Structure 1
Amino acid sequence: MGRFEGRTAVVTGAGGGIGRACALLLAEQGARVALMDISAESVELTAEALRRAGGNAAGYLVDVTDTAAVDAALARAEEDLGPVTLAAGAHGIVRNHPFLELPAEDWDATMAVNLKGMFVLLQRTALRAVAHGGGTMVAVSSVAGRGPRATCADYAASKAGVISLVRSAALSLAGHGIRVNAVCPGVVDTEMTRAIHRQKAEIEGITAEESFARQAAKIPLGRIETPQEIAGVVSFLLSDDSSYVTGQALNVCGGLEMD
């Protein structure tokens, strides 16, 4: 499919997990892809994978909490790949702490990366998309943003903030021909998810495998989702197939949440 032929997309968190899956699919569908990640090694591995598959990609080492760094990377991406009009924000961090043991510095770090970083990405990309006549952006939130989380209150709050941010951005940018939406994954088979369950298992006195299995048992569809399943929905929301959809947060979680 040439769904994004001739267009340039930026993907954050592109070094692995959902970000890498999004980058691979967008490239497969014709996009030139600017890959951003805090890990130079990981982002280059993704870039190499895209090039081996015949895609056009460039990787950039970027801290999404640094506005100047994001601006510089976007400027380089436009020089290397062309006008940026598509964006998928798939960066994020998560740790597990019972509420009474959650360090304030961890709260600050989570908010900086997950919420401020998403704001920076959406705002700085939107400024370029306005100049190019419009665009589309998708933020990866989480079903954790839909309700409470006893052992990761900072993560849940940050992802709820992303949903609110997406709605405000969509309302503000609609007149510029820019659509903004979010996806809310549930339990995705990534290294970050497995790390979460190793931490939860330690807190609860069980094995990581037991923690993972308990979570999977709560999913109506009966299985963990893949990063590729999230990427498919991100691609849909970035494409003209969703041309009348903006300001929405779509659960992609196997029925784990239905609000």
Structure 2
Amino acid sequence: MDNVAGKFIMITGAARGIGLGLARTAAEKGANLILVDRDEEALETAKRACQEKTDDVKSVVMDITNVQEMRNSVDQVMMDTERIDVLINNAGIMQTKHFFEIEEKDWDRVLSVNLKGLFFLSQAVGKHMITRRQGSIIHVSSIASRFPRPLAMHYGASKAAVLSLTKSMAEFFGEYGVRVNAVCPGPMETEMLQAIGRDRASLFGGSAEKAILDYVGPIPLKRVGQPRDVAEAALFLASDHAAYITGQALNVCGGVQMV
């Protein structure tokens, strides 16, 4: 039996992309799910898909950048479930934009979702984990945290900051038996990758399809990753199999970065 079976797992950005892959995979492994997204319609579709695999699936429409709304939602979840064993901070946005064209609103939006929301949700859920002296928090960062991103500097900065938080939170939570780790996906077959292709085509010309091929060309495994690739790595870190692992960031990138 999988080590996440029976655990209550909260996943943000669960309506599509990597988040939906996380939700589907966790459902197959017998986890109890708390799916979070601000897109109510897409979230309900994701919920129905997961209910085909596991019985206990809750959906929470939440804007993680609205801190008070988010805290109220977490309190309600705790009243309903009494515990959250695993928090997977997956919600994130990406924007391809020239350095001199990034505006204040762009910076604020990317940092608000990718960093602020992640921090304050971890704070809200983490206090309950501390009480129980157990739990696992997984941040979905990005391979962009490891490399220069001249056409997405605000995105790269946000994801690098996520790794800093991972280390600091792991140190803080360690004495309470709560582990904090991260996964760093490379290019994945998601709507976000399609948006990157369109943005790069707009900047450099040519088709979005060619832009994506150029973008993923350096991958040694010569394929784009799938959301399930990230899900399996994240759920391993969330499981009891990883009981002595904390403060780590696992690349899931097809070998774009090697040890």
Q: Per the shorter chain, which TM-score range?
A: over 0.9
1:76 Cα deviation (Å)? Answer: 2.3
1:232 Cα deviation (Å)? Answer: 0.2
Name which of structure 1's ranges 237-246 and 53-62 shifts more when overlaid on structure 2.
Answer: 53-62
Q: Which residue in 2 is equivalent to 1:127?
A: 127
Return the alpha-carbon distance in structure 1 between the equivalents of residues 127 and 210 of structure 2.
46
Name which of structure 1's ranges 155-164 and 95-104 shifts more when overlaid on structure 2.
Answer: 95-104
Return the alpha-carbon distance in structure 1 between the equivalents of residues 72 and 4 of structure 2.
24
1:107 Cα deviation (Å)? Answer: 0.6
Name which of structure 1's ranges 21-30 and 35-44 shifts more when overlaid on structure 2.
Answer: 21-30
Q: Percent identity?
A: 37
Instruction: Confirm or deny: 8 A CA contact 2:30 2:53 kept in the other structure.
Output: no
Q: Which residue in 2 is equivalent to 1:159?
A: 159
Q: Which residue in 1 is equivalent to 2:204?
A: 204
Return the alpha-carbon distance in structure 1 between the equivalents of residues 200 and 24 of structure 2.
31
SS of residue paired to 2:85: strand
1:214 Cα deviation (Å)? Answer: 0.9
Instruction: Confirm or deny: 8 A CA contact 1:65 1:113 kept in the other structure.
Output: yes
Q: Can you list the C-alpha shifts for 1:71-108, whole angstroms capped at 9, x where unaligned?
A: 22222223333411211111001111111111121011
Q: Can you list the C-alpha shifts for 1:198-222, whole angstroms capped at 9, x where unaligned?
A: 1111001121000111122210111
Instruction: Confirm or deny: 8 A CA contact 1:32 1:81 kept in the other structure.
Output: no
Q: Which residue in 2 is equivalent to 1:16?
A: 16
SS of residue paired to 1:84: coil
Instruction: Confirm or deny: 8 A CA contact 1:85 1:132 kept in the other structure.
Output: no
Equivalent residue runs for 1:1-259 within 5 Å: 1-258=1-258
Return the alpha-carbon distance in structure 2 between the equivalents of residues 257 and 120 of structure 1.
30
Return the alpha-carbon distance in structure 1 between the equivalents of residues 204 and 153 of structure 2.
17
1:5 Cα deviation (Å)? Answer: 3.0
1:7 Cα deviation (Å)? Answer: 2.0
1:29 Cα deviation (Å)? Answer: 1.6
In structure 2, runs of 5+ residues without a counterpart are none
Return the alpha-carbon distance in structure 2 between the equivalents of residues 52 and 239 of structure 1.
22
Instruction: Confirm or deny: 8 A CA contact 2:65 2:116 kept in the other structure.
Output: yes
Q: Can you list the C-alpha shifts for 1:154-198, whole angstroms capped at 9, x where unaligned?
A: 000000000001110000000010000000000000001111111
Instruction: Confirm or deny: 8 A CA contact 2:187 2:193 kept in the other structure.
Output: yes
Return the alpha-carbon distance in structure 2 between the equivalents of residues 201 and 22 of structure 1.
29
Return the alpha-carbon distance in structure 1 between the equivalents of residues 80 and 28 of structure 2.
19
Name which of structure 1's ranges 163-172 and 77-86 shifts more when overlaid on structure 2.
Answer: 77-86
> What letter matches 2:98 in structure 1?
P
Name which of structure 1's ranges 123-132 and 70-79 shifts more when overlaid on structure 2.
Answer: 70-79
In structure 1, runs of 5+ residues without a counterpart are none
> What letter matches 2:228 in structure 1?
Q
Instruction: Confirm or deny: 8 A CA contact 2:98 2:152 kept in the other structure.
Output: yes
Instruction: Confirm or deny: 8 A CA contact 1:35 1:57 kept in the other structure.
Output: yes
Return the alpha-carbon distance in structure 2 between the equivalents of residues 85 and 2 of structure 1.
15
Return the alpha-carbon distance in structure 2 between the equivalents of residues 129 and 85 of structure 1.
7
Return the alpha-carbon distance in structure 2 between the equivalents of residues 252 and 198 of structure 1.
23
Q: Taking structure 1 as reference, are residues 250 and 2 closer, same or farther at Cα in structure 2, changes over 3 Å only?
A: closer
Return the alpha-carbon distance in structure 2 between the equivalents of residues 203 and 46 of structure 1.
33
Report runs of 4+ in structure 1 exceeding 6 Å deviation. none
TM-score calculated relative to the size of structure 2: 0.96
CA RMSD across the alignment: 1.2
Return the alpha-carbon distance in structure 2 between the equivalents of residues 53 and 90 of structure 1.
21
